[in-house]
Amino acid sequence: LTFSAFFPSLCRDVGNVVEAMYGDLPPPIMLIGHSMGGAIAVHTASSNLVPSLLGLCMIDVVEGTAMDALNSMQNFLRGRPKTFKSLENAIEWSVKSGQIRNLESARVSMVGQVKQCEGITSPEGSKSIVEGIIEEEEEDEEGSESVNKRKKEDDMETKKDHPYTWRIELAKTEKYWDGWFRGLSNLFLSCPIPKLLLLAGVDRLDKDLTIGQMQGKFQMQVLPQCGHAVHEDAPDKVAEAVATFLIRHRFAEPIGGFQW
């Protein structure tokens, strides 16, 4: 599946979900996306797949910064644990590694990022075992049975000690990475609706967005002391920023003495 077919299908999914939920009369909707999700939100808005769309928000995704980061993405993925002993172990890793800086958020989000699995072996390990089995079968059927037995025992032991692994194998999506973010800044700026950009640091802006921000083409807010998962590290501040954006554009009315 090529990028030209893959990415638009994700955007159509957004439109299809809205249509399935609301039919021909969807309520006013604001799309909010983080990282790759921000790219999907922008492409969905640009393609006019949500006719009742009134606002767009990207969270910590900038074309220039993202394209630069892709060069080190495989190294990052190789540095992650491939398996976890438990959900608690996965949550602990996410916080200690700095991927998420909010323990409460990690307890919610990490559960969906890993899955329980059976017979975990690395692709390289599986390949070498299979090759070993073939050689043993050619030489000695009895030896082959011994290898099979050891493989099953090893798999059972691995399953027992590390029953959780990542739900999505991100490394396999590498061929799509460039297309997710290339041209994103100008596409974001061209969307004819009010726009909000939330960043973990002002240094993440690229040239196009810096110029657009100076021209007042979108609202920007920097939330310091956050990592890439801004909405997880500081959910209250993100909610406040979105609420302020909605009220400022008269998409919503403040209640409960909300100050903006």
Active site residues: 35, 60, 228
Based on C-alpha coordinates, what's the Rg of the chain?
A: 23
Distance CA 171, CA 232 (A): 23
Distance CA 47, CA 52 (A): 13
Phi and psi at residue 256, to the nearest 5°: 60, 30
Distance CA 209, CA 184 (A): 10
Distance CA 244, CA 136 (A): 68
Supply angle C-alpha 64, 180, 31, rounded to 5. 95
Is residue 223 within 8 Å of residue 198, measured between CB atoms?
A: yes
